[in-house]
Structure 1
Amino acid sequence: MTILIIDDNVEVRLSIAYFLEDQGFDVIEAESPDIAKQLLSVKAISLILLDMNFTRDTTSGDEGLSFLSWLHTRSKPPAVICLTGWGSVSLAVQALQLGACDFIEKPWQNEELLASIQQQQTLSQRQGSRLADCQAEMSSTVENQRTYDWQSPIMRSFEAKLARIAKTDATILLCGESGVGKSHVVEGLHSQSLRASGPLVSVNVGALSASLFESELFGHVKGAFTDAKATRDGRFTIADGGTLFLDEIATLSLPLQAKLLRVLESGEYEVLGSSETLRSDVRVICATNANLNALVEQGAFRNDLLYRINTFVFELPPLRQRKEDIAPFAQYLLERHAIRYQMIAKPFSQEVVAALLRYPWPGNIRELSHVMERALLMSEGDQIELHDCQLRLARPVAGHSTHHDALNSQQQTLADIEKAAISKVLSEENGVVDSSAKRLGISKSSLYRRLDKYGLKNES
């Protein structure tokens, strides 16, 4: 069980860490919620111990509540035990409403803290056992469910090209707008390759800070840096004999590009904190939604690294160019969600089919999947109706009045409007995060956080 301590007081963190490590737990530390968010993007955390106050003030708990709100938007968030020296009934209630499982005031008693952690550990084990039982019951259904065969000529041609090089170890660069399904293509390439029996390891390098890059990709030994409490294998080591998928490759800074280039050229790397040179036996597949040639011209991406990763370049077409696939693939996704939720899949009304074909799909396959999931859960009739789908970015039908448009805008939440604006800009910028962030007036890291928040970047 890995526990993340989020507290700006180093003495508090050390005190809790020493105690919990003596109890057999793995412990990592973060001095702020922002650092914790980075760690959560690259590490599997079982439980969080969260201080409620940081830089803004010492009593309100607003920063802790804000972090809980953010965590609540993530898929399968870890359990959270809140710690504060300025507790109140109101703050405790708000924290519990946002998903915290316990609320402990400082100074804490080690026995009380340990009992709360062990209780959450027991609950997690029980939930895992129930999940395993459900998965076992559904395994035959899931394994035997039909796979989707692309109908559009553009995708059939695309798959035929991939099949010819799948069994080689050639480096592949996948390009295309955000959400077109690059990660699914990687899974297909790996399963058809001679490395199919080895691991498939995926890394979103866009989510890695410069300080975590080497540790995540190459690993570290105990004591290599402040929080290195134990030796940890990097992704190149874990993927040995298999496939390593590096997503959002264009987001790497030039210094990090140089470190990656070395291992791609020579196959050699060193674990952080060690002088021993190791060799990598992995097939590397990279993906991006940016124009790497333009970035090379701008001096933002190394030309030699581009040559190293683009032995074969494949551009995945956006969903709007696969008209023959939109309706049947939507039905396929609906059936997949029906299996997941143990519900019955329903047919589409003719109005829905027409709307799906008209819609521009700026979020591509990812957006279509979310729309189908929502439609399945919202539908109350014998078939999926248009109002179940909630296509918020659909172009207004000719003849609709300005008053009607204004009314629709008033019914949208601020989050809906922000999500729509981000999707629109991303579509107009062909999914390029850098230029999209500039148009929106925010940093790239802020845009990445919003993409994660609104589910616009869960797949590649």
Structure 2
Amino acid sequence: MTILIIDDNLEVRLSIAYFLEDQGFEVLEADSPTSAKQLLSVRAVSLILLDMNFSRDTTSGEEGMSFLRWLNKQSTAPAVICLTGWGSVALAVQALQLGASDFIEKPWQNDALLASIQQQLKVSQRQKVRIDRAAKHPQPQINTSQSYVWQCPEIRNLEAQLARIAKTDASILLCGESGVGKSHIVEWLHECSQRAGGPLVSVNVGALSTSLFESELFGHKKGAFTDAKADRVGRFASACTGTLFLDEVATLSLPLQAKLLRVLESGEYEVLGSSETQRSDARLICATNADLAQLVARGEFRTDLLYRINTFVFELPPLRQRKEDIVPFATHLLAKHAQRYQMATKPLNEEVCAAFLHYPWPGNIRELSHVMERALLMSDGTHINLHDCQLRFASTPAPSYAQATVSYSEGQTLAELEKAAITHVLTEEKGAVSKAANRLGVSKSSLYRRIEKHGLKNEG
């Protein structure tokens, strides 16, 4: 097994490398995300240990997030464990939403790090075995092609409204937290539209740099700038006769908003390096998890651009507000993952159902899907149990217990929040580790590791 360490601190890399090599792993090192991308182009790795902050700043984690976004676009991506000395709940949630498998704060405990690595490698190995087995021995598949029917009245009302405008070319703005399913709504709208025969082109504008924005959206001619070695078709041209989906539109800077506004107002644009005016023939759908009204009030988003993209505005509620759908949709996702891995689906036990209803689901539908995939692969019994699910930010998931009084305050780190939750539950359970682990949604051995990590041995 080969592990890649991405960290700009040489001492950190050497410390982890020596430890992992003693455990029998092959270790590669990179001092920046750029170096790591070059290395990954020629070497396959089993797992990545990713620092979140590099040379440009020390606390935001944005460089690590940018690397995770890049990794998500690759055809094959190894598991990622994030390491940072500036951990917070918000940063951990965002990293997990972008596909990270775990989030560990510095300074780390070697035993805890090794346990996390072994767990992620175990999941990856099971995924590989199931996929290889499915390729060699195809089996009759469970029919999950039928779309899930939402029970939440708010979502059903939303679907009815969307159905009325799906066949039009009206611009649509979808709002809601990250992971609530905006991209799935876009796919459905495109399939129901009169442009279903054309392409659906999706662009995460938040991932586009200022220098490449025009080239990506409008295209360029060979020689238009230094690195333009060939003609490139822009996204507006690619979406001709179809649908163009611009995600994270609120992240655009004001100069880029002005460039986008021109083509939305006139339907006209020029390819970089050409004086010939092109016309756009694409239906526009935008999405954001930001409050655009607040951004407009602060002068960070153009009012005229907002008017161009919000002919119809729809707000998708977070998963925690769709209580009647959480357990049925989890079962639906479990069946889909079982079909993918050629496995038999399993029922959720009552404890899991109760925990799911009380869990806040910060990553929404995306997180629920990841949880069900992981639970299916890790489960060894006839049912999905709570310790198979590994809910990340649950303090007291089951309703049969008193609600935890642990609260989050601004500036509190993930480690401090975890320690407070463990201390609270252990106190309520009078030091009974098995019961506390059950309430916290982790295995008994995992809780013991966390007790040792936080120095709670003498406090219970």
Tell me the TM-score range normalised by the shorter chain.
Answer: 0.5 to 0.7
In the other structure, the counterpart of 2:227 is 227
Q: Does the alignment pair 1:169 with 2:169? A: yes
Preserved contact between residue 166 and residue 193 of structure 2 (Cα < 8 Å): yes
1:245-284 C-alpha deviation (Å, 9 max, x unpaired): 0000000000000000000111101111111110000000
Which one-letter code corresponds to 1:375 in the other structure? A
| 1:390-401 equivalence runs, <5 A | 390-396=390-396, 397-398=401-402
1:336 aligns with 2:340: no
- Cα distance, 1:393–1:277 mapped onto 2, change above 3 Å: same
Aligned to 2:296: 296
- Deviation of 1:145 after TM superposition, in Å, equals 2.6
Q: Is 1:47–1:78's contact at 8 Å kept on the other side of the alignment?
A: no
CA distance change for structure 1 residues 363 and 314 in 2, over 3 Å: closer, same or farther?
same
Aligned to 1:187: 187
**Partner of 2:183: helix, strand, or coil?**
helix
Q: Encode CA deviations 1:348-374: one digit per residue, 9 max, x unaligned.
A: 101111111111111110111111111
CA gap 1:143/1:221 in 2 versus in 1, 3 angstroms: farther
Contact persistence 2:142–2:335 (CA under 8 A): no
Pair 225,308 (structure 1): closer, same or farther in 2 beyond 3 Å: same
- Is this contact kept in 2: 1:176–1:317, CA < 8 A? yes
**Structure 2: runs of 5+ lacking an equivalent:** 1-30, 45-53, 55-63, 79-127, 405-421, 428-432, 434-439, 441-446, 452-460
Contact 1:171 1:284 in 2 (8 A): yes
Q: What SS class does the counterpart of residue 395 from structure 1 fall into? A: coil
Structure 1 unmatched ranges of 5 or more: 1-31, 41-45, 51-55, 57-65, 81-126, 414-460
CA-CA distance at 1:391 after TM superposition: 1.2
Counterpart residue identity of residue 402, structure 2 = A
TM-score (norm 1): 0.61
Q: 3-state SS of the aligned residue for 1:154?
A: helix
Match of 2:423 in 1: 402
The residue identity in structure 2 corresponding to 1:162 is: L
1:78 and 1:379 map into 2 onto residues whose CA distance is 24
Residue 151 of structure 1 deviates from its aligned partner by 1.1
Cα offsets for 1:35-94 (capped at 9, x unmatched): 689x99xxxxx94599xxxxx9xxxxxxxxx99x979964645699xxxxxxxxxxxxxx
Alignment of 1:280-429 (within 5 A): 280-396=280-396, 397-398=401-402, 402=423, 411=449
Q: Which has the higher helix share?
A: 1
Deviation at 1:395, TM superposition (A): 2.8
> Cα RMSD (Å) of the superposition?
3.7
Relative distance call for 1:49 and 1:269 in structure 2 (3 A) is farther
Q: Secondary structure at the match of 2:376?
A: helix
Contact 1:205 1:251 in 2 (8 A): yes
CA distance in 2, matches of 1:255, 1:174: 23
**2-structure distance, mates of 1:35, 1:219:** 25
Q: Deviations over 1:293-348 (max 9, x none)?
A: 11011000000000000000000011111111111000001111111111111001
State the alpha-carbon separation in 2 of the partners of residues 312 and 135 from structure 1. Answer: 48
CA distance in structure 1 between the partners assigned to 2:168 and 2:383 by the alignment: 45
Tell me the distance in 1 between the aligned counterparts of 2:319 and 2:261. Answer: 33
Deviation, 1:146, is 2.4
Letter in 2 for 1:187: E
CA distance in 1, matches of 2:73, 2:207: 16
Provide the rounded CA distance (Å) in 2 between the counterparts of 1:168 and 1:412.
55
SS across alignment from 1:203: strand
Contact 1:219 1:235 in 2 (8 A): yes
Q: Identity percentage over the alignment?
A: 64
What is the rounded CA distance, in whole Å, between the counterparts of 1:250 and 1:316 in structure 2?
Answer: 16
2:283 is equivalent to residue 274 of structure 1: no
The answer on whether the counterparts of 2:269 and 2:278 sit within 8 Å (CA) in structure 1 is: yes
Partner SS, residue 241 of structure 1? coil
Aligned mates of 1:249, 1:187 — CA distance in 2: 17
Counterpart in 1 of 2:250?
250
Pair 1:336–1:255, CA change in 2 (3 A): same
Q: Confirm or deny: 8 A CA contact 1:48 1:78 kept in the other structure.
A: no
**Which structure 2 residues correspond to residues 78-227 of structure 1 after superposition, within 5 A?**
134=135, 141=141, 145-227=145-227
> 300-309 or 69-78: which moved more?
69-78
CA offset at residue 165 of structure 1? 0.3
